[in-house]
Structures are given as C-alpha cells and as structure tokens.
Amino acid sequence: MKTISENKVYGGIQGVYSHMSDACNCEMTFAVYMPPQASNGPVPCLWYLSGLTCTHDNAMTKAGLQAHAAEFGIAIVFPDTSPRGEGVADDEAYDLGQGAGFYVNATESPWKPHFQMETYIASELRDLVTEKFEVSVHHGITGHSMGGHGALTLAMKYPGHYQSLSAFAPIANPSGSDWGRKQLGAYLGGDESIWAAHDASILLKDKGWSGDILIDQGADDQFYDLLKPASLVTVLVDTKTTHEYRLQQGYDHSYYFVSTFARDHVAWHAERLKSRS
C-alpha cells in the first residue's frame, strides 16, 4: 500500500492511498478518514460508495463527512467506483466502463479481466483496511446513486460484513431502469435472472435485511424516474422491513443534497455500530 497524501482535519487524518489489486488486476486508489478517537484504539468503520463518474475524491471533498465522523468517532472508507488505467476496458458513454463499475463482478468481455468490484469492495479492500487501519470488526455501508445501489446490494449479499445500512438516492431497481439494464447487460450478459442478485428491490424480497435501513431521496431529483425509488419502498413495506424513507422536498441529486443529510447518516451508523462494541 502506498500513501499518496495525508492531511489533518477535525483532529483526525484524511488519507489517500493506492495498492495493486488482485481482484481488479490493476492499481486501485482509495481514501480513508480516521477520526481522532482512533488514537485510543479501533473505531467502527463506515463504507461510502460513490455514484456514476465519481472517484474516491468526490465524496471525500464534497460530502463533509469528516466533521461528522470526528464527532461520532467513526472511520470512513471512500473506495473508487471502478478499475482504471492503461489496458482497462472503457466506453465513450459516462455510464459504462471506468467510473461506472456498478459494484458487480463482470463475467462478460471486455470487462471481466478488471471489473471485479464486488469482490474488491466486499473482500479485498475490506481485508486491506482492517489490516492497515485501526478499525473494529463493526462495519456499516452507505452510498449515493450507483453507490446507494452498491451499498444496498452488498449489505444484503454479505449480511455478516455490515451491521448497519443506509443510502442516498439509490438506484433502487436497476433491472427495471435505463440506469441498470445497460450496465448489467454489458457486465453480466443477457440472462436477466442473473441480474436479480444485483437489484436491491429484488434482493430485499428474496434475501431480506435483518436490520433497519435509512434512505434519503430528493423529491426534486432530476434522475428520480431512473432511480425507481417506489419499487424499493413497495418491497420495504411488503417485507415489513424496518426502515426510515425520507422524501426531501426541494432537494436534487447533487452533493448539496448528500452533504445536507450526511450527519444524519453518520449518526445512524455510529449508533448501530457502537451498540455492538
């Protein structure tokens, strides 16, 4: 693991790091914020998955999460959204290829050699973070848009990995949306039954979630129809999953929306993770 930068902020350290990934077969960059409380021992860890076109940097610099993480004594990990670099497949469209990994393990050419983001997030990077940083065994996961999709699906697929779950404007039903059908078809092939394992609305019905879920959605989100929030809300109610779904009037899909409600999400995760310590 290489250190790219480390800066003191709110008494803690915001670092950016890189490493060679076996899963993605390329060098990957990620960021970690360690709060000041980590100097006294391991702290809970919150994973923040970003959306389309983003890198580790977007939420790190725009969401204002560090102040809240320092307040509640929780680490935050900001992974990249896809593999990158020379020789890594890409597409001219913003919503496919580099910057649009969708947190799945690709099985189709030309994506398969590098686009193994599910394994990378849930296994490889998790192991690296727990080895190199003072984080406890208690992890939560959240994300925005494509990252909200990733947070919901990974939490349901790996329930032992994450003890708390939230999302900002997640792509809630990708197999029924243009933000999903294109990408799942490209990465996983044309068999839509395989896509179900990467669709939060279907996964919740099939696998469920044993905890509670916090979801914030902007009522004025310009991508509302692509996100399909109603599909997920229906399943949350039908499965009697404890949840708090908040439709925020006047808010769009931007990081202004995310930063406005960031403290609520960090507090949500800290309460649930620290209760297990």
Domain count across the chain:
1
CA angle in degrees (0–180, nearest 5) for 142-273-40: 110
Residue pair 70/10 in contact by the 8 Å Cβ criterion: yes
Residue 275 pLDDT > 90 = no
Mean pLDDT over 248-252 rounds to 98
Is 145 designated active site?
yes
The DSSP element (H or E) to which 143 belongs, if any, is strand 135-143
Q: Where residue 15 falls among pLDDT bands split at 50, 70, 90?
A: very high
Total-model pTM: 0.97
As a whole number of angstroms, the distance between CA 162 and CA 155 comes to 6
Residue 246 pLDDT > 80 = yes
CATH of the domain at 163: 3.40.50.1820
- Alpha helices for 101-199 (secondary structure H): 117-119, 125-132, 146-157, 178-188, 192-195
Is 221 designated active site?
yes
Catalytic residue among 50, 221, 243, 265: 221
What are the tokens at 132? 């190199």
Residue 140's domain spans which residues?
2-273
As a whole number of angstroms, the distance between CA 271 and CA 265 comes to 10
Catalytic residue among 21, 50, 145, 201: 145
C-alpha neighbours within 13 Å on the C-beta side of residue 35: 23
* Percent of the chain predicted with pLDDT > 90: 98
Q: What is the pLDDT of residues 68-92, one digit of tens each?
A: 999 999 999 999 999 999 999 999 9
Residue 277 pLDDT > 80 = no
User: Quick one: which of 167, 169, 140, 162 has its CA closest to 152?
Assistant: 167
Residue 158 pLDDT > 90 = yes
What are the tokens at 264? 């609520």
Catalytic residue among 114, 139, 198, 253: 253
The one-letter code for the residue type at 221 is D
Residue 274 pLDDT > 90 = no
Mean pLDDT over 123-130 rounds to 98
Is 253 designated active site?
yes
Residue pair 63/255 in contact by the 8 Å Cβ criterion: yes
- 220: number of Cβ within 10 Å: 12
User: Quick one: which of 142, 219, 148, 158 has its CA closest to 180?
Assistant: 148
Mean pLDDT over 102-119 rounds to 98
